[in-house]
A and B are shown apart, each in its own frame.
Chain A
Amino acid sequence: MTSSAASASKAQPRGWQATLAVLVIMVGIVGAGFVAQNAVADVPNQPVNVGHGVSLVPPPDWEFVGRADDRDTIILSRGSGSLAINVSEGTDELAALMALHDEWTATGTVSAGEVRAATDLHGSLPAARFTYSGTFEELASSVEGEVAGVRGTSVIVLFDGWADVGEFAGVADDINAIIAGTTIP
């Protein structure tokens, strides 16, 4: 004799309005999000201030990952591609690149190409770059990448872009575009 449960269920109100309200809220939150997203589509992307007056606007599919404790380094990422941008006071981008080059190759797990001057990185600003590949202690897998240094009036900006081995070519154009679009005083 357990039909009291069944009769309770049959006696339960249908709750059409409440169910409809739940449905409207479910669809409404996501729908409103897409509407709002469309509404701000024309708002220009906000720049990220790296430090010392250097700023940049990340491309839409690049994510701001974080800022290092030194406050002058930020990291952007897209898929397996990453780009660390560091600003420091100075006027010798070649020395800065060489220091990094030697530090990495000294670990024995990284091989790096020569540091070469680059003329087409950022308009008329002096720049240089080197490529590298290998494993780093803080990264789980082997990577390949390129470090570019650009000299401003009194700052040096290092752009260190990398991705999993075989995938750097997929982000290299984006990284070059970010370098070219960075405001460097």
Chain B
Amino acid sequence: MTAAFGPPPSSANQRRRPTPRWGVQTGLVQPRQPAFWLFVVAMVLGGLYFLLTQLIEIVISPAGWALSWLLLLLYIVPVFLVVRWLDLYEREPRSLLIGAFLWGAIVAEMFSGLGNDAWGVVITRLFGPEFASHWSAALTAPVIEEIYKYLGIAVLFLIARAEFDDLIDGFVYGALIGLGFAVAEDVSYFIFVFGGDVPSVIQGFWVRVVGSGLYSHVTFTGIAGIGFAYFVTRRLDQPLMRRLLVAGALLLLAIVAHFVWNSPFLRDLDIILYGAFKGLPFLIGLIILLYLARRREHSALSEILAGEVGQPGLVAPEMEALLDRGSRRAASQRIRVAGGREAERLLKQLQREQLKLALVASSVDSTDDAQLVQQRAVNESLRFRLWQMPGVAAALGVAPEAAEATLRAVSAFTPDRLVGAQGAWAWARPDQSERRRVGLAPGLPLDVVEERPEGWVLVRSQSGWYGWTGAPYLTGFTGTT
């Protein structure tokens, strides 16, 4: 392909890049990042320590150890699912989520153990064993453990900065680091403190998970994680001092919450009351922070999708439903009544694809990016199928004329060109400097969606794939598909 298509597209097509880049996804394995190698080395050291600890626990009580992990799965799975559910718009890569959990369970656990022991000895020496027995856990663990868990968030950020788009991301990584830490600590407590036999493990599970699992490390590190995310994601709109203040204040809040939890105050209370007095206030604080973060995510979603409303991928009533859980649920019920389960399933699929549209829109720099056009077409085709069902468009509050016009606008694949004998390149955007390009096989039938005077054409293939290519490399289509 030569430079035959004139100048690059005008700046009018350039999208102002929204703050969150939800659609840009990376992963944990980033060998080019030094932080990745720090993660690997820390994981190897921590892994050896973790294995040794597990072996000792198995030797002490094999049944208790197995039961501990089995019971803790009842804690891990729901917490993980809730955290994922809160991370609605941009699901974090699985490798990073697993990395966060492992940092908490393996790395933070080992370093915190060493740090707590060393500083615990200092407190015992200086203030006596009785004082240390009451206060050592409150004075050492909150600072040491919260810092090591916080460093895990920092390491994940240094590995994959693109994944930290908004405040919820900080919560997600923080909460999973906290979950990993809590689980590894719980197993040790069940075996070494509660006694390790089956009744003791069940008692430990009742006290540490049922009674207080909501308030502990998941809450602490979740709070600190939101502060970290505030620091790294609000660079463009908040001054450094304010970001430092917020991040520092939330880390301090996590440490204070941990201190209050570990302090000997109210130690004689029943575990349920203990949790209500010492943990619930901080859990409520976290929920408020999450509410504010979600509100901000909603406004980011509106911002990202604003330019898409009225395009084939999203119409105005759908946008309202995307932003409000209540109207989404109401729409879903109306559709089920009007068109049955299949219609409801299609609506949910359309809504998922519309969230994906937000991801794509946030990851591209131009409104005529082929990937974005393709996603719009996917949504349009789903809407076409949905609205064809009797009564569905009316149930969604769409006027009959508008529904008819929308359905008419959806065109089937009607190839009108073929790729020439020498083949061709296709780009994501009508710009030859764009590095994303794929080869098109000679003779491939294509449907031209848009033609530009400078020679660029937006084409789609029968599979639904979209791309920009040069008109000179296409020939007229005469056959059938």
What B residues does A36 contact at CB under 8 A? 118-119, 122
What B residues does A25 contact at CB under 8 A? 147, 151
- Closest CB-CB distance, B95 to chain A, in whole Å? 13
The contact string, 1 if C-beta is below 8 Å from chain B, for chain A 28-50, is 01100110110011010111110
- Closest CB-CB distance, B218 to chain A, in whole Å? 22
Instruction: Report Cα–Cα, A10/B435, bound state, in Å.
Output: 13
Given contacts A46-B129, A65-B133, contact A16 B34 (CB under 8 A): yes
Which listed residue (B24, B42, B126) contacts A43, Cβ 8 A? Answer: B126
- Closest CB-CB distance, A35 to chain B, in whole Å? 9
Q: Is B33 an interface residue (CB 8 A)?
A: yes
Please state if B130 and A64 are interface contacts (CB–CB under 8 Å): yes
Please state if B21 and A40 are interface contacts (CB–CB under 8 Å): no
Instruction: Report Cα–Cα, A33/B32, bound state, in Å.
Output: 33
Instruction: Report Cα–Cα, A37/B42, bound state, in Å.
Output: 24
Which listed residue (A3, A4, A15, A46) contacts B125, Cβ 8 A? Answer: A46
Instruction: Report Cα–Cα, A14/B111, bound state, in Å.
Output: 25
Which listed residue (B118, B131, B148, B428) contacts A26, Cβ 8 A? Answer: B148
What B residues does A48 contact at CB under 8 A? 128-130
Please state if A1 and B428 are interface contacts (CB–CB under 8 Å): yes
Given contacts A8-B26, A12-B161, A64-B129, contact A37 B200 (CB under 8 A): no
Instruction: Report Cα–Cα, A43/B30, bound state, in Å.
Output: 48
Q: Is B85 an interface residue (CB 8 A)?
A: no
What B residues does A5 contact at CB under 8 A? 24-26, 162, 363
Which listed residue (A9, A34, A46, A63) contacts B26, Cβ 8 A? Answer: A9
- Give the size category of A's interface with B: 35 or more
Q: Is B132 an interface residue (CB 8 A)?
A: yes
Q: Is A66 an interface residue (CB 8 A)?
A: yes
Q: Is A153 an interface residue (CB 8 A)?
A: no
What B residues does A34 contact at CB under 8 A? 118
Q: Is A19 an interface residue (CB 8 A)?
A: yes
Given contacts A1-B438, A7-B435, A37-B118, contact A74 B34 (CB under 8 A): no
Given contacts A4-B24, A14-B32, A15-B33, contact A63 B114 (CB under 8 A): no
Q: Is A99 an interface residue (CB 8 A)?
A: no
Q: Is B155 an interface residue (CB 8 A)?
A: yes
Please state if B129 and A140 are interface contacts (CB–CB under 8 Å): no
- Closest CB-CB distance, B387 to chain A, in whole Å? 29
Q: Is A18 an interface residue (CB 8 A)?
A: yes
Using CB atoms, name the residue of chain A closest to B110.
Answer: A30
Q: Is A58 an interface residue (CB 8 A)?
A: yes
Interface residues of A in 115-143 (CB under 8 A from B): 140
Instruction: Report Cα–Cα, A49/B130, bound state, in Å.
Output: 9
Instruction: Report Cα–Cα, A66/B117, bound state, in Å.
Output: 18
Using CB atoms, name the residue of chain B closest to A69.
Answer: B268
Instruction: Report Cα–Cα, A34/B42, bound state, in Å.
Output: 19
Could you tell me which A residues sit within 8 Å of B by CB distance?
Answer: 1-5, 7-10, 12-16, 18-20, 22-23, 25-26, 29-30, 33-34, 36-37, 40-41, 43, 45-49, 58, 63-67, 74, 140
Query: What are some 19 contacts across the A-B interface (CB < 8 A)?
Result: A1-B438, A5-B26, A9-B32, A9-B160, A14-B32, A18-B35, A19-B33, A22-B35, A22-B38, A23-B38, A25-B151, A26-B42, A26-B148, A29-B148, A33-B115, A33-B118, A33-B119, A40-B125, A45-B129
4 nearest A-B residue pairs (beta carbon) = A33-B118, A46-B128, A64-B129, A40-B125
